Each structure stands twice: as C-alpha cells, then as structure tokens.
C-alpha cells in the first residue's frame, strides 16, 4: 500500500492531505459479507425483497483528496458499476483514482453497494470543497458555505484525512457543522487507519466519525486546541479494516433510511423524520454490539450503572445495523413531554425530535412485561457555530432510565437486581451524544428521561430507542404460553383431568387434579 501526501495552497494556508490507495482494497469486505454483518438480510426477511430500500431518489456527495495530479474521481465510464448514474462535477476536469473508485464501490455502485439505487452523485476535490467549492473557507467570515446544488443531496462522504495544523482546523469544522445543520446533511467522515492522532474532519460535532469493525483505526479523544476537547471518536463502525471503505457503508445505510422516509406516508408527513439529529440517533441506538462492547459503566457500589463516557473506546456505538435502524425509524415518532405524568407510553421501537429547554426535562414512559435482553437508547444534538465562525454554543444533556413506583420516578443507579449489566445513566460533560445500553432489565414500569444540565442556546435533539425482549418469565398456570392465566388455560387443564399430562400437571405430582386447579386459579389473570 502506498501513501500519497499532497499539499495545496488554500487562502494562503497549506493543507496537508493524506489518502491511502492500493491496487487491491485490502481489508475491504465484499458486499455479501457487509449485508450479513449490518443486518441487510434480516431486513429483507422481515419486510420482503420487494419492499427493500436501495437509495433511490437520494442524492449524495463524494469528496476525495487527489491521489496524484488531478486524480480524484471514480471511473465514471465503467458501465457495470455505474450504469444509470448521473455524475456531477462542479469544479475541474479530473481523472480516475483507485481510492475514489473503491469508495464509490461501497457507497453507490450497482454491484458492490447496499444502496445501488443512488443515481445522482456530486464529486468534489477536498481542497475545492473546503474553499470556493462548498465551505468557503478563506472567504470573509460573513460568507457562509454555499447552498446545496440540489435538494436531493442528503449525505456527504469524506474518506480522506487532512489538516491545517492551525486555527483553520476549527474554522473548517465550524463551517462544516453549520452546513450540516443548516441544510440537514448527514456527513460521514473516516477516522485515521491507525496512529495516535485524529485529523480535522474526524473531530466534527455534527457529523459521524466512522471506524472499522477490525478495531485497527485511530480511536481516541479530541485533543486540546480543537473545539470540544475530550469528546470520544469514532461514533460508529462498519465492516472492514480501512476506514476509507467503512465510511461509505454508513453513508449508504443513511441513504436507505432517507429513502424509507420518502416512501412512508406517515414519515414523509412528519417534518422531524429526516432531521440529521434523528437519523444519527437512530444509527447510534440501532448499532449492534458484541459481548465485549462496553461504555465502561460503574459496576458496583452506589454509582452502579453510571457511564460518563457514553460509547466504546474503540467501536463507538457499535456496528451500524440497517435492520435495527429501519425498525426504529418505522416505529415512528412518539412525542415526549415535560412531565412524567403526561408522558406517552412508547412502543419497543421509536424516536423523537425533542427540544429540551435549559434546566428542563423530557419524559417517555414504557412497561417491561418480559425481561429485556437489550435496551438501547441514544440521544444526540448539534453544536451551533456563530455567524462569524469565531465560536459556538453547545448544550449539555444527560440521559437516564428510571423505574416508576407509585407514579414517582425512582433512580436505578446503584441498584442490584433490577438490571443485569450496562448503564442506566449516561452523563458525559463534553460529548454531544449520550447512550444507554443495558441488559436484563426486569419487568416493571419505567421512563426515559432527558434532562438539561445547562441553560445555553437550545437546539433540537434526536432520541431513538430499541427494546429487545428476552424469553418470557414462566407464569404458574399459563399452560398455552400467552402470558395470561385465563379460560383458555382452564380448558386445557380440564381436558387433561385425571391424566399425567405434563403440560397441565402444574404442581408436578404425576396427576392433573384439584391441586393443579387450585394452583391455576391462584394465578388467575
């Protein structure tokens, strides 16, 4: 593998960009493996192949650093990969790079992507994107980033790394974050393929930094000198070793979710359904996690269940999962309220777009009838750069799951037995996301609570949740397994009267008789 490093003068400042290219995409997962690992086949089995989203109608932008003189676009003449695609190149007359071609393979190609229906693609060179091509870095502070060239564009992919090593790093990040929240663009950025330091766009607040499931990427905190030091990166991972090729997989999953919004009458009528905060929260809550994934909650003592670092040090929220994300999205919006008493009773999958005012709270109630194998709740919000790009504001919101006892909230922090493992409180002081991942939550009445720890400028948040039920707890007298003891069970028992039918022999004494009848009636629903 060769490393190409190029320097381009940008508004009097040198930008050093690094991209990795090779004749063969080492560490790149084939599309079948990708589909298996991200839940694509699970989604197909659940909704049917004829209903599968493929990215149709979703426009995307691919940004590349040059891998040599003027080499930064995919081979758009390839009729197999790109038949039916409309490529738009706003600036320059570039030639093909292997790196750009392999990114495109994962992002939108006909034969290698999970989103082959993407047909409208805008191609940018990194230096031009940063300056007069999009973000307008180097222009007067009163000049904002340009508006999207087309309303269909929903995803920007950055599978390149680079930095200025001066104050322009923060200004570029602020401009990108303003663009993403202003234009509602999901921006995905790859982290470095190893090493101790992140590069510029990997530090973003309003974008999603992506790693690989091999865990060989750079995973560290945002350093001092960059806005928001101490924030955790990356946010999520996808199949593969090299982040150049895992990043567009996450972008492609985002495209599938955007298409789902446009083709669902309930979602398309809801202004909140395609907000980037919502899509990001869905991706985070829907990520699948291995047994060794952890956001390092306190495991014993009075702080049991508290996490102050919301995601895994290496794998972020986990592996992007399109089936789980689709379930959450099509669970629809369930609007939380400012008081527990009026909070909605939510279903096992869903999301909201809450505005949590300074010092205030939002509540969502739920009931657990069967112990949950998994409860996953994600909350994220954006930072807001000021109009001169000289600073920004950022909320601080915490996320908690509480038990409801006699109508009142009761903290689960420190409790033993109410949940097996994980965190019930996510309380980072620096990150603009919180994540609850808890296993073995026992039956009972609960609520999700988002609460502000500050009173700075208020923005909308995205919250998403997913509940996976475990095996039902056996109920004495429930002979048909419907979690009720009623006339159906009584009929089964009477039909087996006097026999040794093991199903109806509740007290297990070898005969179905009055003792079993008494046990059944004692558990009557």
Q: Give the tokens for residue 182.
A: 């202003």
Which residue in 180, 189, 121 sits closest to 145, CA to CA?
180
Q: What is the pLDDT of residues 499-513, one digit of tens each?
A: 999 999 999 999 999
Give mean pLDDT, residues 395-407. 96
Q: Which residues, at least 6 apart from 324, have a Cβ–Cβ distance to it below 8 Å?
A: 39, 285, 286, 287, 288, 466
Q: What is the mean pLDDT of the chain?
A: 91
Tokens 């920004």 correspond to: 392
Q: Is the pLDDT of residue 15 over 90?
A: no
CATH of domain 296-469: 2.60.120.380
Whole-number percent of the chain with pLDDT over 70 = 94
Residue 481 vs residues 74, 472, 477: alpha-carbon distances, Å: 56, 9, 9
Give mean pLDDT, residues 142-157. 97
CA distance 158 to 100: 10
- The H or E element spanning position 524 is none
Which residue in 518, 458, 463 sits closest to 490, CA to CA?
518
Predicted confidence band of residue 473 (pLDDT cuts 50, 70, 90)? low
| pLDDT, position 456 | 86
Which residue in 351, 305, 359 sits closest to 326, CA to CA?
351
DSSP three-state, residue 266: helix
| pLDDT, position 147 | 96
CA distance 3 to 24: 14
Q: What is the pLDDT of residues 313-356, one digit of tens each?
A: 999 999 999 999 999 999 999 999 999 999 999 999 999 999 98
Predicted confidence band of residue 11 (pLDDT cuts 50, 70, 90)? very low
| pLDDT, position 383 | 95
CA distance 82 to 153: 18
| pLDDT, position 471 | 60
Burial tier of 415 (Cβ tally within 10 Å: 0-12, 13-18, 19+): middle
How many Cβ atoms from other residues are within 10 Å of residue 3's Cβ?
Answer: 10
- Classify each residue of 302-319 as buried b or exposed e, where b means 16 or more C-beta atoms within 10 Å of its C-beta: eebbbbbbbbbebbbbbb
| pLDDT, position 8 | 33
Q: What is the pLDDT of residues 16-29, one digit of tens each?
A: 433 333 333 445 67
Q: Give the tokens for residue 78.
A: 């390839």
Give mean pLDDT, residues 259-288. 97
Q: What is the pLDDT of residues 66-90, one digit of tens each?
A: 988 899 999 999 999 999 999 999 9
- The H or E element spanning position 493 is helix 487-495
Domains 2-262 and 474-525 equal at CATH topology level: no
Give mean pLDDT, residues 293-312. 97
Q: Is the pLDDT of residue 166 over 70?
A: yes
| pLDDT, position 390 | 95
Burial tier of 16 (Cβ tally within 10 Å: 0-12, 13-18, 19+): middle
| Domain 2-262 in CATH 3.40.50.200 | yes
- Fold of the domain spanning 474-525: Type 1 dockerin domain (1.10.1330)
Q: Is the pLDDT of residue 197 over 90?
A: no
Q: Dihedral of the CA atoms 479, 442, 310, 281 (nearest 10)?
A: 50
Q: How far is CA 274 from the centre of its chain?
A: 13
Residue 286 vs residues 154, 174, 256, 283, 338: alpha-carbon distances, Å: 20, 28, 14, 5, 25
Where along the chain do its domains lie? 2-262, 296-469, 474-525
Q: Is the pLDDT of residue 100 over 50?
A: yes
Predicted confidence band of residue 472 (pLDDT cuts 50, 70, 90)? low
| pLDDT, position 247 | 97
């Amino acid at each position: 593998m060769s490393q190409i490093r190029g320097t381009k003068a940008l508004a009097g400042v040198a930008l050093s960009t690094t991209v990795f290219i090779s004749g063969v995409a080492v560490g790149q997962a084939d599309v079948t493996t990708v589909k298996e690992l991200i839940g694509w086949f699970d989604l197909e089995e659940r909704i049917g192949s004829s209903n599968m989203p493929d990215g149709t109608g979703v426009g995307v932008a691919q940004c590349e650093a040059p891998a040599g003189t003027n080499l930064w676009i995919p081979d758009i003449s390839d009729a197999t990969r790109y038949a039916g695609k409309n490529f738009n190149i706003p600036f320059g007359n570039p030639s093909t790079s292997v790196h750009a071609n392999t990114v495109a393979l994962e992002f939108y190609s006909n034969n290698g992507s999970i989103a082959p229906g993407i047909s409208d693609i805008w191609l940018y060179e990194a230096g031009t994107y940063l300056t007069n091509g999009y973000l307008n870095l180097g222009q007067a502070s009163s000049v904002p980033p340009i508006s999207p060239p087309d309303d269909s564009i929903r995803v920007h992919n950055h599978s390149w790394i680079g930095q200025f090593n001066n104050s322009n790093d923060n200004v570029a990040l602020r401009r990108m974050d303003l663009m993403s929240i202003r234009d509602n663009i999901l921006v995905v950025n790859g982290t470095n393929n190893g090493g101790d330091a992140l590069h510029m766009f990997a530090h973003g607040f309003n974008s999603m930094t992506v790693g690989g499931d091999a865990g060989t990427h750079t995973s560290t905190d945002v350093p001092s000198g960059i806005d928001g030091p101490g924030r955790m990166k990356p946010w999520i991972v996808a199949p593969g070793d090299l982040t150049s090729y895992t990043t567009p997989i996450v972008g492609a999953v985002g495209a599938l979710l955007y298409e789902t919004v446009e083709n669902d009458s309930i979602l398309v009528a809801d202004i909140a359904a395609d907000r980037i905060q919502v899509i990001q929260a869905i991706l985070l809550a829907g990520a699948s996690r291995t047994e060794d994934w952890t956001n390092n909650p306190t495991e014993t003592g009075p702080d049991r269940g508290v996490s102050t670092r919301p995601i895994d040090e290496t794998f972020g929220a986990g592996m992007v999962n399109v089936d789980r994300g689709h379930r959450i999205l099509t669970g629809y919006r369930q609007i939380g309220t400012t008081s527990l008493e009026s909070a909605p009773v939510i279903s096992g999958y869903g999301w909201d777009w809450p505005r949590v005012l300074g010092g205030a709270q939002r509540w969502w109630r739920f009931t657990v009838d069967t112990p949950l194998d998994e409860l996953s709740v994600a909350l994220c919000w954006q930072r807001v750069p000021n109009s001169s790009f000289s600073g920004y504001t950022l909320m601080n919101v915490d996320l908690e799951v509480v038990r409801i006892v006699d109508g009142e909230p009761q903290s689960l922090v420190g409790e033993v037995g109410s949940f097996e493992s994980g965190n019930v409180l996510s309380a980072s002081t620096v990150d603009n996301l919180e994540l609850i991942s808890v296993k073995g939550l026992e039956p009972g009445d609960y609520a999700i609570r988002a609460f502000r720890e500050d009173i700075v400028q208020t923005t909308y948040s995205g919250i998403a949740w997913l509940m996976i039920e475990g095996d039902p707890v056996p109920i004495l007298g429930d002979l048909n397994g419907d979690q009720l003891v009623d006339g159906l069970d009584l009929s089964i028992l009477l039909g087996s009267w006097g026999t040794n039918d093991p199903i109806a022999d509740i007290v297990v004494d070898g005969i179905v008789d009055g003792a079993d009848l008494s046990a059944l009636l004692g558990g009557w629903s």
